[in-house]
Amino acid sequence: MSKLGLIIKREYLAKVRNKSFVVMTFLSPILMVGMIALIVYLTKVNDNETRVIGVLNQSDYFSTDFQGTDNTSYVKFRDVDLEAAKDSIIKMGLYGLLYIPNAPNLERVAENAVFYTKDAPGSSVVTNLESVFENRLRMERLQDLGVSASDFNKLDLSFEINTTTFSGEQNLKGINEIKAFIGGGFGYLIMMFIIIYGGFVMRSVIEEKTSRIVEVIISSVKPFQLMLGKIIGTSLAGITQFVIWIISASLLLGMLVFIFGIDPSALNSGAENTPGLIGGAANFANSETTMQLYANELFKIPWAMLITFFMIYFILGYLIYSSIYAAIGAAVDNEADTQQFIFPIILPLMLAIYVGFFSVFNNPHGPIAVGFSLFPLTSPIVMLMRLPGGIGEGGVPVWELLVSIALLVVTFIGIVWLAAKIYRVGILMYGKKPSYKDIFKWLKY
Amino acid sequence: MNNILVANEVTKKYGNHIALNKISLEIPKNSIYGLLGPNGAGKTTLIRIINQITYPDQGTIIFDGKPLEAKHISMIGYLPEERGLYKSMKVGEQALYLAQLKGMSKSEAKAKLKYWFERLEIGDWWNRKIQELSKGMAQKIQFIVTVLHEPKLLIFDEPFSGFDPINANLIKDEILRLKENGTSIIFSTHRMESVEELCEYIALIHKSEKLLDGKLSDIKNAYKNNIYKVGLGLHSSNGILDDLKDKFQILSSEYVDNGQQLNFTVQLPSNDTGAFLTHLSGKANVNHFTETIPSANDIFIKTVQNKQPI
């Protein structure tokens, strides 16, 4: 076996046999599925809770407006004064008391209404109550203006413009967002992988330095071989972990659905609450035919191409970042000293994710999206968010893709070369915390 | 070809700092060569260049008659001063890994390890982790992985640090035995007593410069300055000391045995002792007369101090 092979094997086994790694590998899917189950359960519990609100209405209005809904019901109080009503609300343990005093006209009645609760009320409760008042007030004003309720309802409309490409294909609302979201998923995966396993590489370098074995090893192999073997071995361990996670999480999820009969679509309710646009897009897709169109559109996403480029950007991006992590590990003596160096690495990654979500979603081919998908430290994430739109006409221009990959390859060679230099000097420097200036000097050794 | 390693005007700079300035050395085969010098003199840099961990800016290294190149790595064994092992790796697995990195096959490494484990009486440690061993025990493992691949040249940087006296002796004997079996050894240290015991040749490096090198006995002879220790048996206090002080350079003197014996040290103008002994004869009995040979420690301190003002 070649020396590089030996190093890769050792790094892989050292990582895979590590107790905390094993625990994380097998516990994480259980924790994750458990969390999802808990969220689903809690959401259901939350939905099932019914709030009972007392209404003390002394006015001539609102006698029929407060109708119970799924999770709110109203109890009407009659012929009692406010204090007595409050007392009985507390005694009965009801959610709150809506007090509507009498006044000469509707406007004044509404203004003087008070909602009493034990603690500050939930915003959804208040919104519901407010909408009841708003509707009643609107009706009143419509009557004053002489507009009938049915005429008013006719005014309530929404409009969607049809959009097509020049070649006549119908564009679907939100399909860009869905595509970017899929690409974003890939990009996010790359970022997580870099942060988790780059950190592993760094800690492994620090461990070799503090245990003082590094000089023994580099008297047998070149420092660059050691660095490369470490990065590859750790990544293989990472990929193993990812595969185990994906397989066991889907098995567990399947079991959960089977045993508890949880509707998988209920899981999407969580996604809808995120600022992501899937939920918004799903709202458009109400009718069967639009659903069909979306499905067609998703099938049209060039998955093979996407996965190929995912692999290219993943490998290059990960190697760039993990060699920087290795250089940082070599430069310092303990993990506490790494903070000042890690921040500048995380920065472009975070920037890529945020730019991706805020700019690429809106305009996949705008100048910012193009710029960041060419810049090599952000391109692995941003370009993947643009790629589901396809390559060539209507998608990412071929030259942009080529330039982006070319820049990434050049940067990859440059960064790995620089990192290897820092690594080579750094692993033999003990006992002092280097500054950026020191590290810059090492490059000239 | 009598030299295992020759360095020709090796120079290494780190930025503006010169770590080695035109160092030339000849390390004879089948000998123990002491590389001496204060901390920061450049010893480690030189050793790292020999191990191809770093490369010289100028100058060449000849290993066994040929310019040093990557394949020589497997013929060199190196025990660094800053040394350690993977703490959470098992002893046997780790030794196999390091041996394979030096180019040994797994089965060959296993057989040799078995031999060494028995030799140093550590047979049952194979499945234990380094972190479960004491420091001295770990040092034994470290020594074994250094010599396991039977290199032609062994480089020990402060090999005895971390050993108790008994194990230090054990390792010293192993080093001597390796030399007997034909290995050439570079021995870097600032513990002079082990230099006296082990080294045939030395080189002294100070502030990136080589101050002296050669056979230890030759260097000692060169550093002799004709100082002799003399013991005289006296019949009576006959003023011989005053007489001697008149004619020779007496460095120190003392009477012992109630004035029956005079001990003194004298520095003679040359190594011709005849005139001095003739002068003494008839005046007193010479009980002992020995030349003081400087210790390696004396030479070390003297040479370094003389160079200091530069």
Is the pLDDT at A151 greater than 70, yes or no?
yes
pLDDT of residue A170: 63
DSSP code of residue A120 = P
Which pLDDT score is estimated for B224?
83
Residues B28, B203: Cα–Cα separation, whole Å: 12
Count of pairs with CB atoms under 8 A, one residue in A, one in B: 62
Contact by Cβ (8 Å): B97, B134: no
pLDDT digits (tens, 9 = 90+) for B34-90: 999 888 888 999 999 999 988 899 999 999 989 999 889 999 999 998 888 998 899
Query: Which of A4-13, A59-68, A384-393, B297-306 ranks highest by mean pLDDT?
Result: A4-13
pLDDT at A119: 82
**Which pLDDT score, from 0 to 100, does residue B201 have?**
93
A267 has a pLDDT exceeding 60: no
Angle at A242 between CA A239 and CA A243, to 5 degrees: 85
At A273, the pLDDT band (50, 70, 90 cuts) reads very low
Amino acid at A357: F
Instruction: Please give the C-alpha separations between residue A409 and each of A88, A309, A317, A382, B183, in angstroms, as whole numbers.
Output: 74, 13, 9, 16, 47
Q: What is the mean pLDDT of chain B?
A: 88
Is the pLDDT assigned to residue B10 strictly greater than 90? yes
Chain B residue numbers touching A217 (CB-CB < 8 A): 98, 101
pLDDT(A224) > 80: yes
So what's the pLDDT on residue A268?
Answer: 46
Q: Please indicate whether residue A175 or residue A208 has the higher confidence score (pLDDT).
A: A208
At A145, phi and psi to the nearest 5?
A: -80, -5
Residue A149: what pLDDT? 77
Residues in A closer than 8 angstroms to B85, CB to CB, are 211, 213, 216
What would the mean pLDDT of A154-158 be, rounded to a whole number?
78
Contacts of B76 in chain A (CB under 8 A): 219
Task: Choose, out of A15, A209, A210, A215, the residue to mutate when testing the contact with B (most B CBs < 10 Å).
Answer: A215
3-state secondary structure chain B: CCEEEEEEEEEEEECCEEEEEEEEEEEECCCEEEEECCCCCCHHHHHHHHCCCCCCCEEEEEECCEECCHHHHHHEEEECCCCCCCCCCEHHHHHHHHHHHCCCCHHHHHHHHHHHHHHCCCHHHCCCEHHHCCHHHHHHHHHHHHHCCCCCEEEEECCCCCCCHHHHHHHHHHHHHHHHCCCEEEEEECCHHHHHHHCCEEEEEECCEEEEEEEHHHHHHHHCCCEEEEEEECCCCCCHHHHHHHHCEEEEEEEECCCCEEEEEEECCCCCCHHHHHHHCCCCEEEEEEECCCCHHHHHHHHHHHHCCC
pLDDT for position A278? 41
Token pair recorded at residue B93:
């697995």
Task: Strand A72-77: give its sheet, edge to edge.
Answer: A72-77, A51-57, A96-100, A114-117
Count how many Cα atoms sit within 13 Å of the Cα of residue A124 in the half-sphere of its side chain. Answer: 7
Best probe of the B interface among A205, A209, A219, A230, by most B CBs < 10 A, is: A219
CB atoms A217 and B101 under 8 Å: yes
* pLDDT value of position A102: 86
pLDDT for A8: 94
Q: How confident is the model at residue A287, as a pLDDT?
A: 54
> Going from the N-terminus, what domains does chain A have, and what CATH number goes with each?
3-36+172-442 (no CATH), 49-151 (3.40.190.10)
For residue A346, which amino acid is it?
Answer: I
- The partner residue sitting opposite B85, judged by closest CB among A213, A221, A430, is A213
Per-residue pLDDT for A234 more than 60? yes
Give tens-digit pLDDT for A88-108.
888 888 888 889 888 888 888
Ramachandran region, residue A107 (left: φ > 0; alpha: ψ -120 to 50; beta: rest):
alpha
B76 touches chain A (CB under 8 A): yes
Is the Cβ pair A445, B14 closer than 8 Å? yes
What is the chain A residue with the closest CA to B145?
A: A216
Taking a C-beta distance cutoff of 8 angstroms, is the pair A254, A23 a contact? no
Domains and CATH numbers, chain B: 3-221 (3.40.50.300), 225-291 (3.30.70.3100)
In chain B, residues with a C-beta closer than 8 Å to the C-beta of A221 are 101
Q: pLDDT tens across B129-185, in order?
A: 988 888 888 889 999 999 999 999 999 998 988 788 888 898 999 999 999 999 999
Q: Is residue A232 very low, low, confident or very high in pLDDT (cuts 50, 70, 90)?
A: very high
pLDDT of A283 strictly over 60? no
**What mean pLDDT is reported for chain A?**
82
**Cβ of residue B17 closer than 8 Å to a chain A Cβ:** no
Average pLDDT rounded to a whole number, residues A167-176: 66
Question: For the residues B11-18, what does the mean pLDDT come to?
Answer: 87
- Give the residue on A whose Cα is nearest the Cα of B44: A428
Mean pLDDT of all residues in A378-388: 86
Chain B residue whose CA is closest to A226: B101
Task: Look up the pTM and report it.
Answer: 0.75
pLDDT number for residue A285: 42
